[in-house]
Amino acid sequence: MFQDQLVSYSGVQPSGNLTIGNYLGAIRNFSSYSEKYKCFYCVVDSHAITVRQVPADLRRRTYETLALYMACGLDPEKNTLYVQSHVHEHTDLAWILNCFTMFGELSRMTQFKDKSAKHSDNINAGLFTYPVLMASDILLYQTDVVPVGIDQKQHVELCRDIANRFNQLYPDTFTVPEPIMAKSGAKIMSLAEPTKKMSKSDENANAVVYILDDKDTIIRKFKRAVTDSDTCVRYAEGKDGINNLMTVYNAFTGKTFDEIEREFEGKGYGDFKMAVGEACADALAPVQQRFKEFMADKAMLEAQMKKGAEEASYVARRTLSKVQKKLGFVQVR
């Protein structure tokens, strides 16, 4: 579709304040793909409503997520940046793919089990079929690679299964995508419960560092991070809190675990926590400044939404039309 250029696809939900886990595991790495791939970056607002949203908050965060994409280095001239609900082909294809996805496959999805437990008063069908819409997002653009965190890898594997199943019945319809993982910081854990993934929906504000937290807040949260009774900064089994802080420090500084251990040899956890907080805050400062500038220009953001939707729709329509023809749907122009 793009001649010899491979396609990369990613999406982020505007369902909460984005964390350093979102940044290190996904968003920060996005800009590096644009030289090698034709990249589509989506604000996946349709996914967000599987959990009840405050409408005003969802609208605001949709703007904020687009602004953060750009603040983190995504050039709209090199990448297609758009909002999912602005391209109806996503939901059109999702219904078709629902008919090629097995109930048992969806019932085994880890995120469905986790979110059902967390939102037991709202276990809706959209929450169950969320991975099919994600497959639609990816397959619409004949995607070759999907940069993901560990928690989304299972969904990409399901997407591959759906694509292969459809291709067996209707050959040469979809490109079968490959998940690619970040080299570092792929999974950042909670500062309060380091055996759990850092989550933007965590009710404990001290457990999460947000991309837009100010420097004092970032340092305070790292100072309060749960560690262990040891005082040695080293990566080892049973030291979940320190292992997590070393992962964060490695991701922001590029230093290996061996280098980190040597740097803090003979020093206590207090010194290390302070260093991690400062490294994080210093790295996020330019992102936060660019974000403020973009958010101050709402007209520019809306123009980008329109431009991005037009670019995405052009490609998405071609895939959807191809699928509909193979299924036998009558198409009238």
- Do residues 245 and 276 touch, judged by C-beta distance below 8 A? yes
Confirm whether 117 is domain-assigned. yes
**Per-residue model confidence (pLDDT) at position 183:** 59
197 given a catalytic annotation: yes
pLDDT of residue 5: 85
**Rounded to an integer, what distance in angstroms lies between the CA atom of residue 278 and that of residue 280?**
5
Same domain, 153 and 87: yes
Q: Is residue 138 part of a domain?
A: yes
- Domains of the chain: total: 2
What does the DSSP assignment read for 2-26? -TT-EEEEEEE--SSPPBHHHIIII
Residues 88, 152, 107: CA angle, nearest 5 degrees: 85
Q: Which tokens is 249 given? A: 């420090």
Of 38, 197, 239, 273, which residue is the catalytic one? Answer: 197
pLDDT for residue 182: 60
- Could you tell me the pTM of the whole model? 0.87
Same domain, yes or no: 173 and 228: no
Mean pLDDT, each 10-residue run in order, the chain (333 residues): 78 87 83 89 94 93 95 93 98 98 90 75 88 97 89 89 98 96 72 92 91 96 94 92 96 94 94 97 96 97 98 98 97 80
Residue 38 is assigned to a structural domain of this protein: yes
Boundaries of domain holding 99: 6-181+298-327
Q: The domain spanning residue 172 has which CATH number?
A: 3.40.50.620
Instruction: Identify whether residues 66 and 94 lie together within a single domain.
Output: yes
Q: Which of 115, 221, 239, 273 is catalytic?
A: 115
Q: In the prediction, which pLDDT does 2 show?
A: 52
| Residue 301 φ/ψ, nearest 5 degrees | -65, -40
As given in the structure block, the two tokens for residue 314 are 């052009």
Nearest to 19 by CA among 162, 268, 276, 198: 198
Question: Is 242 part of any domain?
Answer: yes
247 shares its domain with 304: no
Phi, psi for residue 9 in degrees, rounded to 5: -135, 135
118-126's contacts with Cβ under 8 Å and 24+ in sequence apart are 118/201, 119/51, 122/51, 122/52, 124/50, 126/49, 126/50
Whether residue 243 sits in one domain with residue 322: no
What pLDDT shows up at residue 180?
87
Catalytic one of 187, 200, 215, 326: 200
What confidence score (pLDDT) does residue 3 get? 52
One domain, residues 227 and 268: yes
Burial, 171: exposed, middle or buried (Cβ in 10 Å; 0-12, 13-18, 19+)? exposed
pLDDT score of 127: 87
- Are 135 and 238 found together in one domain? no
Beta strand spans in 21-135 (E): 37-43, 79-83
